[in-house]
Amino acid sequence: MGLMHLGCPSCGGTLSLAEGERIVACRYCGSRSLVLVPDATPRYVLSLGVSRDEAAAAAQAALQRSGVPRVLRERVRFKDILLCYIPFYESSAIRLGTVFLRERVKSVSPGVDDSQDDAAMQRWFDEPPVEREDTKVLEQEVVRDGPACDLPELGLDCIKLAELRRGATKVPLEPFDPVALQGKAVVFGPTKPSDRFAEEGTWRLRATGDRTGYVEQRVKLLYYPVWQARYLYRGRSYDVAVDGISGALLRGHAPRTTEWAAALAVGGLALAALGAGRIARLLFLPHASALARTAGNLESLILLALAGAAGIFVARLGWKRLRQGGEQLLEGETR
């Protein structure tokens, strides 16, 4: 939904209402009006807190870790740094009603001191608990948030939207202006239905005596800023996603250095060949003196066999690393 043009109820002048705004002031008479749009999901934008240069610095810092090729850590050049806005649903409702409670309670235990008779304490232990019934009035706010689309490559599971919305320091919301927003960023649309998300937020197992229901159910669309930095390495494209509010790493991919894996595979093969070759030389040497030395040196055979097995294991590990494609996942802190 774009701009809505309405008439002022006081003077009849034209009112322009941007999406996300509910209170608008008339520029002719100055009167303020509350506008309610039926069957519409209000949309807002979380304020951007990280600039493009700060996002590039955060993405570059994410590549400064072991396993990333040294030339990439020292000379990384980002091809594109795009600002994206990801839709999140925020569903809120009030659980209202009564809950029937039934519990078993005992009287207060007698105090224990030197003058207390043990018989009083024994009577308290033998006293059966009393069943008490009560009705409790419940008024509880239920809030749930989650991504409105599937973009696992951007690391949406690392975004702490609940802390930003209900924490001590709240991030301000801005009206959703699709024209202005799409002119400076990539805006993703929701792919999950809002009514289904609202139903999942109020779903619960009903217990006996639960006479509560949900009222004042509301669903909002909150667009979260995410920076996506892309770079090339040996003709292949990689990306790093950075939180547009906190500047933290969300998720990314980076090439994995393969020199150590190749060295591991070659070293393991050499060790396996050494162990197997020495064993074959001792066992199949045609001289009787060598056979006698072999029979008398069983510990050497065992050590050579263990060395050969270790070499095969190391070579297999290095070969497995080489076959993985030389790519590693850069992940942020999950919530």
pLDDT averaged per 10 residues, the chain (length 335): 62 69 75 67 90 93 82 83 95 88 73 63 76 81 90 88 83 86 92 86 75 86 95 87 93 76 65 68 55 54 72 69 67 59
Closest CA to 46 of 226, 190, 207, 168: 226
**Cα 80 versus chain centre, distance:** 24
Q: How far is CA 334 from CA 155, 237, 250, 251, 254, in A?
A: 9, 25, 9, 10, 19
Parallel, antiparallel, or unpaired: how do β-strands 43-46 and 23-25 relate?
Answer: unpaired
Alpha helices (H) in 22-137, listed in sequence order: 52-62, 70-75, 118-126
* Domain boundaries of the chain, sorted by first residue: 4-34, 43-97+138-255, 259-329
**Per-residue confidence (pLDDT) for residue 223, from 0 to 100:** 95
8-state DSSP, 285: -
Q: Residue 288 is encoded by which pair of tokens? A: 């009787």
**Per-residue confidence (pLDDT) for residue 243, from 0 to 100:** 95
Q: Residue 198 is encoded by which pair of tokens? A: 């609202």
**Per-residue confidence (pLDDT) for residue 248, from 0 to 100:** 92
**Per-residue confidence (pLDDT) for residue 30, from 0 to 100:** 79
8-state DSSP, 40: -
**Per-residue confidence (pLDDT) for residue 115, from 0 to 100:** 53
| Sequence-ordered list of residues with C-beta below 8 angstroms from that of 269, at least 6 positions apart, any chain | 311, 315
* pTM strictly above 0.85: no
- Which residue has tokens 């510990």? 299
Q: How far is CA 296 from CA 18, 176, 201, in A?
A: 93, 86, 76
**Per-residue confidence (pLDDT) for residue 265, from 0 to 100:** 60
